Amino acid sequence: MSETADVVIIGGGIVGSSVAWHLTEAGCRNVLVVERETQQGMGSTGKSMGGVRAQFATAVNIRMSLYSIPIFAAFQEITGHPSEYKSHGYLFVATTPAHLAYLRRNFELQTALGLKRVEMLSREEIVARVPQLRNEDILGGSFCATDGFVDPYSVMKGFMASAVERGVRLWRGMEVTGIDVDARGVAGVRTSRGNIAARNVVNAAGPWAAAVAHMAGAELPIVPLRRMLVPTEPFPGLPDRLPMVIDMSTGFHFRPEGLGLLMAWNDPDETPGFKTAFDPVFIEKILTHAVNRVPCFEDLQVNPHRAWAGLYAVSPDHHAIIGPAPVPGLFFANGFSGHGVMHSPATGRITADLILNGSTPLLDARDLNLERFAEGRTLEETAVL
Ligand SMILES: Cc1cc2nc3c(=O)[nH]c(=O)nc-3n(C[C@H](O)[C@H](O)[C@H](O)COP(=O)(O)OP(=O)(O)OC[C@H]3O[C@@H](n4cnc5c(N)ncnc54)[C@H](O)[C@@H]3O)c2cc1C
């Protein structure tokens, strides 16, 4: 087989799907998405917690959310497909003066950048929203009503279905095995089912992005890191519009999922690697933190067989790496460090802008480029969950 495309996208997860859709929005339709699995969503996207928030600590992440969240809210009108966006909010709960001061600094930056529905809350206001929290050590917190959750699978499928309706080709069950480079830059990709000639190639390979970059001789500092999620059986009695609640004292967080909850916690003992098996020991650890903050969670029922693990693609400064690679024609859309679902719309827009116009009005694209590491311009995001 020998094909040609204006743009080849490697990876059909939520990021590759958004890039494809945003290219069509800008009129570029000769786009081919190559996905090695026989169906979409087998990478990180299908494992995600689906949280979306604008409550970040850096301007670049806040700006990406300010573009992305309205897209989720209007997804049905924009793409003709549901995103299942639920604006229940994110509630950050602080128990130390340092955490409270940190939330206030973030709040000031967020409002200065135009985030409207974020507010600082007192302990009493937090208790009024979630009375089940153990609260004697709570000093206050922050809440943003436009934060919430989406169905990542649905967003991915929606972006891709709409892109395909506009002429994008999605080839599944086809692995990219090499990237051809000539004197001008990228010339195409080699796949398990033949070659594709293309002058623009997007690396949207999620946790496998470093290996894909390597195919073009580029080094991408991204490592896979396992994250585990624990759903619970139905648990009545919690507030109707329960937000994502983050206990900053431990990092334990939870949100409603069906009639039960979905619980997460960043295990500091986790080490990088392509580990995707769920470790049952994690249940004991997370329940300790859960019951510590929400005493009635002692009655939570958990079926270990329903828990799962997936991979974060972690960059050195916990910000995405988006933009041109050292090899002309190769573009990165990688390293989301746990924010790739919520930032998929902005990533699609920025990547399409950079491919087609060489610049984007959304933000200063230099903030996200690979060169920032060599040039010492890293942006540490501390609001990582
Ligand atoms: C447990 C967990 C919870 C999370 N919670 C959140 C959250 O609440 N909010 C949030 O925003 N983010 C969250 N994330 C992160 C989010 O899921 C990812 O950032 C996002 O899904 C990345 O999407 P992607 O398209 O880049 O990667 P993926 O979904 O991994 O897609 C990459 C695709 O590339 C394909 N591929 C790889 N190599 C090749 C190749 N050589 N040839 C062809 N195809 C290839 C893979 O098969 C895969 O389908 C979470 C992640 C995990 C694991």
The tens digit of pLDDT for each residue in 100-119 reads 999 999 999 999 999 999 99
Closest ligand 1 atom, CA of 11? 34
Closest ligand 1 atom, CA of 40? 49
Span from the CA of 264 to the centroid of ligand 1 (angstroms) = 17
Span from the CA of 58 to the centroid of ligand 1 (angstroms) = 22
pLDDT at 234: 97
CB 160 within 8 A of CB 23: no
pLDDT at 383: 61
What value, to the nearest 5°, has the Cα angle with vertex 274 and ends 270 and 278? 60
pLDDT at 381: 65
Mean pLDDT to the nearest integer, 24-30? 97
pLDDT at 267 over 90: yes
| Percent of all residues in the chain with a pLDDT value above 90, rounded to a whole number | 97
Closest ligand 1 atom, CA of 42? 49
pLDDT at 41: 98
Structure tokens at 312: 């974060």
**φ and ψ of 327, to 5 deg:** -90, 115
Arithmetic mean of pLDDT over the chain: 97
3-state class (DSSP) for residue 45: helix
Q: Where are the alpha helices (DSSP H) in the chain?
A: 14-25, 59-73, 75-79, 97-112, 123-129, 152-165, 209-215, 281-293, 344-357, 371-374
CA 68 to CA 75: how far, in whole Å?
10
pLDDT at 379: 83
**Tens digit of each residue's pLDDT (9 = 90 or more) over 337-361:** 999 999 999 999 999 999 999 999 9
**Tens digit of each residue's pLDDT (9 = 90 or more) over 135-162:** 999 999 999 999 999 999 999 999 999 9
3-state class (DSSP) for residue 274: coil
CA 248 to CA 184: how far, in whole Å?
50
**Tens digit of each residue's pLDDT (9 = 90 or more) over 34-90:** 999 999 999 999 999 999 999 999 999 999 999 999 999 999 999 999 999 999 999
Amino acid (1-letter code) at residue 131: P
**Tens digit of each residue's pLDDT (9 = 90 or more) over 290-306:** 999 999 999 999 999 99
Span from the CA of 262 to the centroid of ligand 1 (angstroms) = 19
Ligand 1 neighbourhood includes 348 CB (under 6 angstroms): no
Span from the CA of 65 to the centroid of ligand 1 (angstroms) = 18
CA 10 to CA 36: how far, in whole Å?
9
